[in-house]
């Protein structure tokens, strides 16, 4: 989740952008395989009201998503910087010099990766989801995409939008801090692990109002996959309102807010000597 401009453009192969897009595709797909996979296992894989019948709980979900982020970042980091999140890509373009010309290709690759990952989860858990929810309703819809109040609590779409703005602002602010080489960035290639722990923490502290999508590709790609495979109410929430825009707009706005806060409150006061802020070291 850093800017991938680690080497001058003249020294990079002509297929560099293709490689970056492949990395974003695979990294985001890995994220969804673990994230949606763990939710499917917890929600549909057993009766959680009758232990030990249940296959996990809320903490399993938080850790599954966090580890999915960590592993996705490790997969993509060398080639693309492992944004695996359009909110991160847009924030890097706005505040760290990531080329705007690459934003739409990156977002498309991330969304496609999330879509394919969700299709694989949907295919693999076909029987389990069908048993738990034969009508493919909101009961198992949030295996793939988020709902206000997780489909159960009295949260409106505007409350969910507020939650997504705040949650993604936290995420991007902390990503900027962790990847800033002028700050106390983690060493020994531990950055992806720390970023995964950030997602675990957000899931445990900010998951009730809107399911902590904090990533437009993570929500839209699986939402589309579920719609095409039988979840015909996927675009709406449990109140019948059009909802899919909330986990897109909220994270994009929140990411810019988090990046701006880091830029204004932290970056301007850091020492100027040393590596360029937010860049990965140039390979020898």
Q: Distance (Å, rounded) from C-alpha 170 to C-alpha 202?
A: 8
Q: Return the CATH number at 56.
A: 1.20.1080.10
Cα separation, 80 vs 68, in Å, equals: 17
- Residue pair 226/118 in contact (Cβ under 8 Å)? The answer is yes
Residue 6 CB neighbour total at 10 angstroms: 15
Give 10-residue mean pLDDT values along the chain (284 residues).
49 79 98 97 71 72 97 97 97 97 98 98 95 92 94 94 98 97 91 97 96 97 97 95 97 98 96 58 51
**Domain-embedded: residue 277:** no
Quote the CA–CA distance of 266 and 53 in Å, as a whole number: 48
Whether 50 is covered by a domain: the verdict is: yes
pLDDT digits (tens, 9 = 90+) for 4-27: 444 445 455 558 999 999 999 999
* 173 bridge partner residues: none
Tell how far CA 233 is from the center of its chain. Answer: 22
Determine, yes or no, domain membership for 197.
Answer: yes
Domain residues for the domain of 176 are 16-267
How far, in Å, CA of 215 to CA of 192, rounded?
17
Instruction: Answer whether residue 211 is part of any domain.
Output: yes
Q: What pLDDT, on the 0 to 100 scale, is given for residue 131?
A: 92
Q: What is the CA radius of gyration of the chain?
A: 19
What pLDDT does 195 receive?
A: 97
Backbone angles phi, psi at 242, to 5 degrees: -65, 120
Helix H or strand E encompassing 62? helix 58-80
Torsion of CA 138, 142, 146, 149, to 10 degrees: 60
pLDDT at site 272 = 80
- Total domains in the fold of the chain: 1
- Is the residue at 5 inside a domain? no
């Amino acid at each position: 989740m850093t800017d991938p401009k680690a080497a001058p453009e003249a020294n990079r192969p002509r297929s560099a952008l293709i490689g970056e897009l492949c990395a974003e595709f695979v990294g985001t797909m890995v994220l969804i395989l673990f994230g949606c996979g763990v939710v499917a296992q917890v929600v549909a894989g057993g009766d959680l009201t009758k232990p030990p019948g249940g296959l996990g709980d809320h903490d399993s979900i938080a850790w599954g998503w966090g580890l999915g982020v960590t592993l996705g970042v490790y997969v993509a980091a060398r080639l693309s910087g492992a944004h695996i999140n359009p909110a991160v890509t847009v924030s890097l373009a706005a505040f760290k010099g990531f080329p705007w010309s690459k934003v739409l290709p990156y977002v498309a690759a991330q969304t496609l990766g999330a879509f394919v990952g969700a299709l694989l989860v949907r295919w693999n858990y076909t029987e389990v989801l069908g048993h738990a929810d034969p009508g493919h309703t909101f009961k198992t819809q949030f295996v793939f995409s988020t709902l206000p109040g997780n489909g159960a609590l009295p949260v409106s779409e505007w409350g969910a939008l507020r939650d997504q703005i705040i949650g993604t602002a936290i995420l991007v602010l902390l990503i900027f801090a962790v990847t800033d080489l002028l700050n106390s960035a983690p060493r020994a290639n531990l950055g992806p692990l720390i970023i995964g722990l950030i997602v675990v923490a957000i899931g445990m502290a900010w998951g009730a109002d809107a399911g902590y999508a904090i990533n437009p590709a993570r929500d839209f790609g699986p939402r589309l996959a579920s719609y095409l495979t039988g979840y015909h109410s996927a675009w709406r929430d449990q109140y019948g309102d059009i909802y899919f825009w909330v986990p897109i707009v909220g994270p994009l706005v929140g990411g810019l807010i988090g990046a701006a806060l880091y830029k204004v409150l932290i970056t301007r006061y850091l020492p100027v000597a040393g590596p360029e802020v937010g860049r990965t070291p140039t390979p020898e």
